[in-house]
Amino acid sequence: MSKTRTPKLWRLLAAIFALALVAAACGGTDDDPATDTTEAMEDDAETTEAMEDDDAETTEAMEDDDGEAMAGGTISMAIVAPSAKDDLAFTQSMVDSIAALDGDIDLQITDGTFVVEEAAAAIRGYAEAGVEVIVAHGTQYGGSLAEIAPDFPETTFVWGTASDTQGLDNIFAYYPAADEGGYVLGTIAAAISESGNIGIVGPVEAGDAVAYIDGFANGAKDNGATDVSIVYTGSFGDVALAAETAQAHITNGADVLSGSAQMVVGAVGVAAQNGVPWFGTQANQASLAPDLVVASQVYHWEGVLQQVLDARAAGTLGGEVFEINLGNGGLVIEFNDGYPLDPAVKTAAEATIAAVADGSQSTGV
Amino acid sequence: MQRLFGAAVPLLAALVAFACGAIMLVAVGADPVEGLRALVDQAVGSGPRIATTLVRATPLLLVGAGITIAFRASVVNIGGEGQIVAGALLSTIVAIQLPNLPGILLVPLVLIAGALGGAVWGAIPGALKAYASVNEILSTIMLNLVAVQFMNFLLRGWLIDPLEVERGTRIPQTARLSENATLPALIPGSRLHLGVLVAVLAAIGAYVLLWRTPLGFRLRAVGHSPEAAKAAGIPVKKSIVTALALSGSLSGLAGAILVFGSESVRMVTDGSAAGFTGSAGFNGIVAALFGGLHPLWTIPSSFLFGGLLTGATGLQRALQVPAALAVALNGIVVIFVVSSAKVRTRLDQLANARSEMKEVLKDA
Amino acid sequence: MLEYLEAIFSVAVLASGIRLATPYLLAGLGETVGQRSGVLNLGVDGVMQLSAFFAYWTVLVHENLWLGIGVSVLVGLVMGIIYAIVTVFFEAQQGISGIGIFLFGLGFSDLMFQKNVGTPRFVKSLPDVRIPVLSDLPVLGEALFSHSVVIYGAFLLVPAVAWLLRKTTFGMNVRAVGENPQAADSLGVSAQRTRFIAILIGNVLAGLAGGALVLQLGVFQPNLTQGLGFIAVALVYFGAWRPSGVMVGALLYGLVAASVLQLKALQLIPRSYSDIAAMAPAVLTIAALVILAGRVKAPAALTRPFARH
């Protein structure tokens, strides 16, 4: 009995299977929700177009010149970065910075490549395609760069966050003095906190997250905060854990929160639900909670990048390390107008910014 | 004829899967033909690119070969990620402790250390399964989580580059490891390093072990029927531990190769397993499966997936399609290929039935 | 020592543990039904990621939480149909096809997020509903009866699933098929149909788990689950294939995680050991498995494809 039934059943199932997969695959192009996101989609389409044009142009440009591009023509740049280009954090800070540069720049982006091998392939690919300045925006790419950079002596590689150029003269390195902005934000946090209890949500205790958090804690304590609680959840990605951490801080009496890394969106959500002010870092996080983000420490790499381009134009392809800090304008405290910050506190904060910038105030980190 | 067709079924399944990939490309507004061209070009378009593909395939092949060993003994090893990390950590520690050993000694030593680290991390779930009846799927998953935190702990603390502490940058990475431990290039000046050869040899070794040695026979016997194996006097529990330890040792070897081969001169973490392994622990399962869970077929299969992964970066660069598409595509390939096994048996059955029918008709 | 205990046994930790436990519980309950019928689904995590993304996207666009929940269930259903066809009719190797579903879900949700949303934006999250009278109970009232609807629903599903498995004809069929599909089939219980439906139930609950997770947080990120679905599968073994056992496992996992966070927040765990502390849920689960394992028996036909001859 089953035998006679099988073929039909087969055909039917195969058809359903195919349909289901196609449906699943096409689920995303559903007309309805797409209408509301067309803006985003169009943006993407534009970049894609721009990209295609770029490819053609750069190859041409490369063929007929060697020095022209440096002498003020179009500069081709590429970013290879570990997280998404619109992550409201580390990667976005670099993308925004390049967008803010003056002059004609052909920018290509490979994002979401936290795997070193993938990034290495992308970096090499850009170098082969003749891109002049390649930003390897991830500490972990250093090993690959050391291998790739010598093969492309005409290309400038910009690598961060890192504090050495690995002895190569076509690598520039950059890193943020994240403790400086952290310190300033910490003093503001202490000023607006009524309980003197401040909670911080961190990822893994490492890198610029530690600098930011330690600076923040010192700033808060120096300005009268009695209790600064720091929790490292152990994950850069666990949004739920970050949310529960924020909740724990609030339950323990914290009335101001801050945190670093991509998973903090979970903590910002909890802060927003409980009406607790939030301080951001890396990129301007005001869009996440327009009336509760007090201020963000934003990484502005424009200065560093401009110096890189100028150096390249003058014939220096690398070999220097740049630090961004409050003093050189690489770190900027961006206040959010949506939050009603007491003008006196803001004035005091601006004084602190100046003091940290000129070195008269130590961050204690 | 039908048999030939039967053999082609997995390939057909893969083609259908790639057709789905094309649909996804269209869905995200990219030209599928252009996408495919970029993908192939990036994967095998030039000598260095082929080298990259092979290097990328290396951990997949090692994990995959390990999976075939475990599978033949009827154990599922989902702990590749943790075993890679364990192997990498132990080999890193060895290199840090013995930086002045000449390369001829240090290279084999770090590879052995990697295999040992992975073997231990594999033997734990093996022992838990054999002696405490803890299902290995769970324990390997849990041990992946433990390994990641352990890696973060060590790279933040004991193993951190002293310079990182001094500068205050505190990036969780080791100091530059001894150059003596760097895997030598197979072709001077290329990225193709010893690890690729080691992986291929390991896969051949897995084949020899499974089908040409008494140990392999025992493992397969246990996989086939634990009861029968026990009746035949084969130590079933020990075999299960051995299978997972061997499987883990190959993943651990992949970990050592990731540290000392793939352009890295140090071990660095972004806080997750995938940031170090590139999900090789999972993608290796895919490669093994695509190779029909046979160590030798896993070799070309791994190279194929290595190419797919490398190609995906080309795809992203050319069309700005997120690399996540390649991950989704991998999943679809797996789903179609596992499903096709049944179609193939059905076709074989059908062929048999027909020939039987013909004979019956002839007789009539 | 006392301060450690005081920190752990607090209303806040209990409430936080319950919130953390809910996605594990929902996904684990679904997986229980599937495994009782003899089907292992390692793709739970992928299904959760897909349903989480589509639920989030729906709420982002339509601003309707119920529609979001509905979409998460629908995504679970579609993925369930796919997985059921693959494992029941194509008799595919279950462990590996589950990995396929996982990879697809991980990659596709990421792709869709990047293409359609990009920068994380908040949607409204599920509101807490205080249950009158009960929520005013001293101490426990606040911890147990001031949660979102989905959390109450998840815990109410525990007895419901237990009843389904133990008291209904369908449940008996599921258990029979999970033990010996050939025998069940010969007695007129269609093993294929029973497994098909069990898989659908399992995936719908996994979908709901993804929806619950994302709508509790109000925001989506690629790889939102961070392997949560795999742990949920582990908790089914932990719970010895019983809904109540799965609940205990999920609560243990959630409460340990919440306790660790609280101890860190009160600075009772030295910061340099934060990663070691983060291992606690996984290590304790393994330890519990070692103690419990051997006393319970898995469904005999678990992971074995059924072929009618």
B338 close to C (CB below 8 A): yes
Q: Do the chains contact at B168 and A109, CB–CB below 8 Å?
A: no
Among chain A residues, the shortest Cα distance to B309 is held by: A118
Among chain C residues, the shortest Cα distance to B324 is held by: C107
The CATH code of the domain at C2-121+137-292 is 1.10.3470
Q: Where are the domains of chain A?
A: 73-176+302-324, 178-292+339-358
The CATH code of the domain at B58-321 is 1.10.3470
B241 close to C (CB below 8 A): no
Angle between helices B80-97 and B103-132 (to 10 degrees): 140
A48 close to B (CB below 8 A): yes
Q: Do the chains contact at A199 and C265, CB–CB below 8 Å?
A: yes
Contacts of C89 in chain B (CB under 8 A): 342
C188 close to A (CB below 8 A): no
- Whether A73-176+302-324 and A178-292+339-358 share one fold: the answer is yes
Which of C258, C265, C272 is nearest residue A229 as measured by Cβ atoms? C265
B324 close to C (CB below 8 A): yes
C81 close to A (CB below 8 A): yes
Calculate the alpha carbon distances from B266 to A298, B260, B279 in Å.
30, 8, 19
C216 close to A (CB below 8 A): yes
More confident residue, B349 or A267: A267
Q: Where are the domains of chain C?
A: 2-121+137-292
Which of B27, B42, B171 is nearest residue A26 as measured by Cβ atoms? B27
Among chain A residues, the shortest Cα distance to C83 is held by: A17
Residues 123-182 of B with CB under 8 A from C: 128, 132-135, 137-139, 141-146, 149-150, 152-153, 156-157
Residues B145 and C227: beta-carbon distance below 8 Å:
yes
Q: Where are the domains of chain B?
A: 1-28+322-364, 58-321
Which of B138, B153, B338 is nearest residue C86 as measured by Cβ atoms? B338
Q: Do the chains contact at A265 and C221, CB–CB below 8 Å?
A: yes
Mean pLDDT of B29-57: 87
pLDDT score at B348: 74
Q: What would be the CATH architecture of the domain defined by A178-292+339-358?
A: 3-Layer(aba) Sandwich (3.40)
Q: Where residue A276 falls among pLDDT bands split at 50, 70, 90?
A: very high
CA distance C233 to C211: 18
Q: Do the chains contact at B278 and A126, CB–CB below 8 Å?
A: no
H helices of chain B, in order, are 2-27, 32-44, 47-72, 80-97, 103-132, 136-156, 162-167, 194-212, 214-224, 226-231, 236-260, 273-277, 280-290, 295-319, 324-363
C217 close to A (CB below 8 A): yes
For A294, the enclosing helix (H) or strand (E) is strand A293-299
Q: Where residue A47 falls among pLDDT bands split at 50, 70, 90?
A: very low
Residue A281 phi/psi, 5-degree rounding, is -145, 165
The residue assigned the tokens 């895919």 is B286
CATH superfamily, domain A73-176+302-324, is Response regulator (3.40.50.2300)
Q: Do the chains contact at C114 and A84, CB–CB below 8 Å?
A: yes
Q: Do the chains contact at C219 and A230, CB–CB below 8 Å?
A: no
Q: Do the chains contact at B29 and A175, CB–CB below 8 Å?
A: no
Residue C240 gets which letter from DSSP? T
Per-residue pLDDT tens for A111-167?
877 777 778 888 988 998 899 999 999 887 887 888 889 989 999 999 988 888 888
Q: Which amino acid is at C124?
A: K
pLDDT score at C294: 65
pLDDT score at B3: 52
Cβ burial of B331 (10 Å; 0-12, 13-18, 19+) is buried
Q: Do the chains contact at A234 and C275, CB–CB below 8 Å?
A: yes
Q: Do the chains contact at A125 and B262, CB–CB below 8 Å?
A: no
pLDDT in tens, chain C (309 residues): 677 777 777 888 999 999 999 999 999 999 999 999 999 998 999 999 999 999 999 999 999 999 999 999 999 999 999 999 999 988 887 877 898 999 999 999 999 998 888 888 899 888 888 888 888 887 777 788 888 999 999 999 999 999 999 999 999 999 999 999 999 989 888 999 999 999 999 999 999 999 999 999 999 998 899 889 988 998 898 888 999 999 999 999 999 999 999 999 988 888 888 888 889 888 988 888 888 766 677 888 888 888 775
Mean pLDDT of A166-175: 90
The residue assigned the tokens 């990209």 is A51
Which of A21, A140, A207 is nearest residue B169 as measured by Cβ atoms? A207
Q: Do the chains contact at A110 and B191, CB–CB below 8 Å?
A: no
Lowest-confidence range among A233-237, B13-17, B116-120, B295-299? B13-17
Tell me the count of A-B CB pairs closer than 8 A. 156
